[in-house]
Amino acid sequence: MDKKTIAHHFSFDRRLLGRLYWFPFLAYGLCVGLMVIFSARSDEPFLPYTVIQGIAVPIAGWHLVFLYRHLYDEGAKEAVLWYYRKAVVLDLLRYAVLHGGCIVLLVLAVIWIHGTMFLTAPVLVHLFLLFSFYQLIGLAMLCVFRSLDVALSVIAVYTFMEVATQGTFMPWPHLFLFQAPADSLSLLLPMMWLGAGIVIAAILIGREFW
């Protein structure tokens, strides 16, 4: 597929979503502001990096949920499912590249402020898995609940509780890193849960569209 066709898809998405299309990018702007504030108050690099994990990465997956919500409008599924079946893989790739680029820019901003000491290979692998998980889980939740409000609420509540409590409050799987991993277990468990979540989300999406 050539660049002109891909650009046409993005243009169509912007017209379809209107102002809602720009919401994730506004959230990225908020992240930059928070990162600057936190960096001015603390030298701890994981503090601004937590902004990327807890705000930017989860919201990076919302575009697909916004686009595919129309599939579950009353009476619409039978009429448009054939189109979404053809488009879903391309849509996942398009928005993974778009938002992956935005996340890379945010990480570079943290590196510019704090250097690269915090950004070890295991942290990079964890970030990739976390990004992949949130790219899929929103659409998977939409397939399960068939409601935009419910799908985003489930994701937002989990993410907020995890970030607000630093992963210490609820006895559910913890996906985030709030400090440099102290041992292999503190890194292995989140990566294991993320891997399982990616597989489950992919299965749920596959069942819905194929």
Task: Express each pLDDT in 52-89 by its tens digit.
Answer: 999 999 999 999 999 999 888 766 677 788 888 889 99
Q: What is the pLDDT of residue 59?
A: 96
CB count in 10 Å sphere of residue 33: 10
Which residue segment(s) compose the domain that 143 sits in?
Answer: 3-209
Q: What is the pLDDT of residue 173?
A: 85
Instruction: Check whether 180 has a pLDDT greater than 90.
Output: no
Residue % of the chain over a pLDDT of 90 = 60
Instruction: Check whether 16 has a pLDDT greater than 80.
Output: yes
Distance of CA 60 to the CA centre of its chain: 4
Mean pLDDT of the 179-196 span: 84
Q: What is the pLDDT of residue 63?
A: 94
Mean pLDDT of the 164-179 span: 83
Task: Give Dmax (Cα) for the chain.
Answer: 54
| pLDDT per residue as tens digits for the range 25-53 | 999 999 999 998 988 888 777 888 889 99
Instruction: Check whether 196 has a pLDDT greater than 70.
Output: yes
> How far apart, in whole angstroms, are the C-alpha atoms of residue 178 and residue 97?
25
CB count in 10 Å sphere of residue 75: 6
Confidence band for 1, pLDDT divided at 50, 70 and 90: low
Q: How many domains does the chain have?
A: 1
